[in-house]
């Protein structure tokens, strides 16, 4: 039994060694026909890493020949299939530059864009690759308006722009989470100043209003009126754009409290005392939370 198992292990090792040596022999070979056939065999068998390695090696041998564009295109395509998008993007970029009239050029242009798109990062991280991808895709759409890939390009742009919008929004909202309400309002307004069509516009306007309210609510008494009036402007701006917003009920309640504090529109219902108590309790809690930050000035 032990002899049989040993024989099986040795046979397997020999087979693996033979397989490995065949690839290495082909890689080091100068036989263009054999290497070309082997590269496509690896590609068709979905062994894309080995196919890419062989196509790369083969490109040296086919340089300047009629096969060169095919070899270089499939070199990039093999890396793309292997999900090495960074290398594939470089392959396709060089291919387009060297063979703009190749039958593979149109698809190579699109695949380069797809590589750029797939190489982008989450919104929390550096968005330089995102901006590069957006520029390339936008240029492609202008240059090839009838391309069959236009719809895919639109979907990529939608996703990439949403990523930039979210990064800007979350970055500004961070000040709000840190309870630096004055800085939050400035940052949130700057987001819309830079991009008025930010898809998080409703949320940004909500946090702008809440930041101005909380900043006023924490202020010393002789500065509260002026700062509450800033909230009133933000509130009216919000409901003017978003009358049916999910935030409307909350902001309406805050607005009523502010009106009460400003001596306007006094509450005459049985909820008057409760409203005043809630208002005082909220300010006390906010003052307590911010007592160590020095922001309640």
What number is the average pLDDT over the span 201-221?
Answer: 96
In percent, how much of the chain has pLDDT > 90?
A: 77
What number is the average pLDDT over the span 264-281?
Answer: 50
Q: How far apart are CA 114 and CA 155, in angstroms?
A: 11
What number is the average pLDDT over the span 24-45?
Answer: 92
Q: Does the reported pTM lie above 0.85? A: no
In percent, how much of the chain has pLDDT > 70?
A: 82
Which class is domain 2-119? mainly alpha
Decide which of 24 and 167 is more confident. 167
Residue 274 has pLDDT above 90, yes or no: no
Over residues 69-103, the pLDDT tens digits come to: 999 999 999 999 999 999 999 999 999 999 999 99
> Which residue ranges does the chain devote to CATH 1.25.40.10?
2-119, 180-289
Which class is domain 180-289? mainly alpha
Q: Which residues contact 224 (CB under 8 A, 6 or more apart)?
A: 216, 217, 261
Q: How far apart are CA 273 and CA 279, in angstroms?
A: 10
What number is the average pLDDT over the span 20-39?
Answer: 87
What number is the average pLDDT over the span 45-69?
Answer: 95
Query: What's the pLDDT at 158?
Result: 97
Q: How confident is the model at residue 265 (pLDDT cuts 50, 70, 90)?
A: low
Range list of β-strands (E), the chain: none
Residue 148: other Cβ atoms inside 10 A: 10
> Alpha carbon of 227 to those of 60, 179, 212, 250, 263: distances in Å?
71, 16, 7, 19, 14
What number is the average pLDDT over the span 225-237?
Answer: 96
What number is the average pLDDT over the span 167-182?
Answer: 97
Query: What's the pLDDT at 135?
Result: 97
Structure tokens at 293: 């930050």
Residue 294 has pLDDT above 50, yes or no: yes
Helix pair 201-217, 181-194: axis angle to 10 deg: 150
Question: Residue 268, SS3?
Answer: coil
Residue 271 has pLDDT above 60, yes or no: no
Query: What's the pLDDT at 295?
Result: 54
What number is the average pLDDT over the span 158-181?
Answer: 97
Query: What's the pLDDT at 9?
Result: 46
Residue 280 has pLDDT above 90, yes or no: no
What number is the average pLDDT over the span 184-202?
Answer: 97
Residue 122 has pLDDT above 60, yes or no: yes
Query: What's the pLDDT at 30?
Result: 84
């Amino acid at each position: 039994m032990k002899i049989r198992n040993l024989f099986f292990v040795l046979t397997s090792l020999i087979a693996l060694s033979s397989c490995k040596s065949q690839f290495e022999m082909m890689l080091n070979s100068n036989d263009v026909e054999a290497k070309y056939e082997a590269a496509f065999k690896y590609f068709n068998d979905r062994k894309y890493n080995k196919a890419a390695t062989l196509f790369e090696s083969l490109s040296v041998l086919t340089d300047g020949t009629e096969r060169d564009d095919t070899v270089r295109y499939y070199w990039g395509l093999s890396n793309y299939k292997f999900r090495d998008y960074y290398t594939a993007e470089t392959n396709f970029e060089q291919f387009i530059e060297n063979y703009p009239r190749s039958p593979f050029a149109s698809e190579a242009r699109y695949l380069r864009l797809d590589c750029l798109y797939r190489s982008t990062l989450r919104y929390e991280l550096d968005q330089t690759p995102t901006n590069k991808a957006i520029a390339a895709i936008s240029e492609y759409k202008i240059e090839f308006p009838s391309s069959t890939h236009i719809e895919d390009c639109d979907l990529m742009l939608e996703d990439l722009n949403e990523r930039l919008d979210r990064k800007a929004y979350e970055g500004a909202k961070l000040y709000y989470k840190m309870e630096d309400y004055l800085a939050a309002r400035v940052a949130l307004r700057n987001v819309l100043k830079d991009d008025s069509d930010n898809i998080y516009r409703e949320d940004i306007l909500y946090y702008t209003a809440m930041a101005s309210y909380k900043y006023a609510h924490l202020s010393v008494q002789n500065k509260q009126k002026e700062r509450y009036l800033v909230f009133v402007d933000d509130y009216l701006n919000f409901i003017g754009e978003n009358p049916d917003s999910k935030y409307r009920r909350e902001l309406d309640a805050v607005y009523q409290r502010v009106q009460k504090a400003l001596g306007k529109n006094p509450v005459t219902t049985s909820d008057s005392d409760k409203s005043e108590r809630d208002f005082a309790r909220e300010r006390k809690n906010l003052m307590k939370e911010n007592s160590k930050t020095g922001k309640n000035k």
